[in-house]
Structure 1
Amino acid sequence: MDKEKLEEALLEVKRGNEVVRERLIRHYKPYIINVVGHICKRYVSWSSDETSIGLIAFNRALDTFQFGRGRTFLNYVFLLIKRDLIDYFRKEKQEHHLSIHSVTAKEKDSHTSMDAVKSIEMYEQNNATSNLVSEILELDGILSHFKISFDELEKYSPKHNDSRLLVFEMADAFLKQEDLVEQLRKKHYFPATKFTKRTSYRLKTVERHRKYLVTLILIKLHPEWTHLSSYVQLGPRSVKK
């Protein structure tokens, strides 16, 4: 997420927009997990106690971060998460791999900066780019109008190559029907009956793959989603016969 969009989103959060807060949490979820795992020096899941501490710190960062103070947002998030985890482990008196022995303020800033860079690099390497996450969130927002969630698409994804190829063909055929595409865009409704009457596809087949088909059509209608197109291997070429 670029600086301008982030600044606008943080202003919305400060105004009490909880929808934007939730979107930011979902957007930076991979980074939060990577930071917590980096500090704990072990694998953590989203349900781990340590990750909960990280999420609380992230929420505080959303409320308190200010641009122009010399730190990037991700560095600021890292700093808050690290401080909270140190306090957590001290209070719980648990043995932990993290070194919390006394160091000078300068050394603390140096270590924090280096660790933050490593976490950012890990985030970028393991999660492609933040652009992909942004595109997924944007798609998910549009899919919600069709009562579809991006998270459930794997369940409805065609399991066989021939079925998958058929869905891609149906998506291309639908895009040739300009009036139906317009209806899909404006009314957020997939006209399955009209589509099958104009083509050779069976209504039962279309309905069986409706959620995945709608998703493919929407992605094809947004060529600017380049990362998402690659992520879902958009196109018949991805099908191995």
Structure 2
Amino acid sequence: MGFKIPFLARSQAEGDGVNGILVEIKSGNTQLKEKFISDYKPFVIKAVFNATGKRVEVENSEEYSIGLLAFNEAIDSFDFSKNKNFFGFSEQVIKRRIIDYSRKNRETQNKVFPFTYFSDEQSNDFEERYLTSDFTNEFSNIEVKEDILIFKDKLRQYGISFRDLLTCAPKHKDSRVMCIRIARVIARDEKLLNKMEKTKTLPIQELLKVINVYRGTLEKNRKFIIALCVIMTSSLEVMNGYISQTEEGGDANV
């Protein structure tokens, strides 16, 4: 559905354009600012819908309120020397603020995305089911989808798939905690991490010099440990929640 330019913006666009309106607003014309925000509420609604994938109910939507505040923020922070497209810029601001809101909601509810959800015996395509189902509504819809796609892409570089994680993840909590602690050693050691990222495999020889663990343990859990390192060294906060919760109360030592 196309977006029609409101009368205010259309009439002034014939002169200075949207940037001219923004210049006047930034010079202190608060009435013009209020009118500009009011006229572009349909744009905000569309941006919120694009960010959440959900129908926006103006009267009862927290996301819509956040969208309006973000649009106001975009007006104030728009830099003509760095950006040419105000509406592209403002949509990104709206999206970021909604993601922030979703993250805070998730933290409040203390929900964690478990690795075990990669198991779905009744579906031939985990990604299709995940990305199109209502299951994502139980989590932070936008953020989880983005995390999953980023995670998938990073794992592919190591030749690891989601289904590999299902088959290689340790069954016992103590073993999972041990793998987490091994992964932390790698994530905190620049040389080990660089070696792993360069060779796209676990630096087993180097690890054996700094941790007290059997070689067979490293080989058996290689893919799982690599996946944990990927999470720890990326901004995958949803899955970092899994790591933190798994680690709590664990008694395995490295």
Q: TM-score range by the shorter chain?
A: 0.3 to 0.5
Give the TM-score, by structure 2 length: 0.44
Give the TM-score, by structure 1 length: 0.46
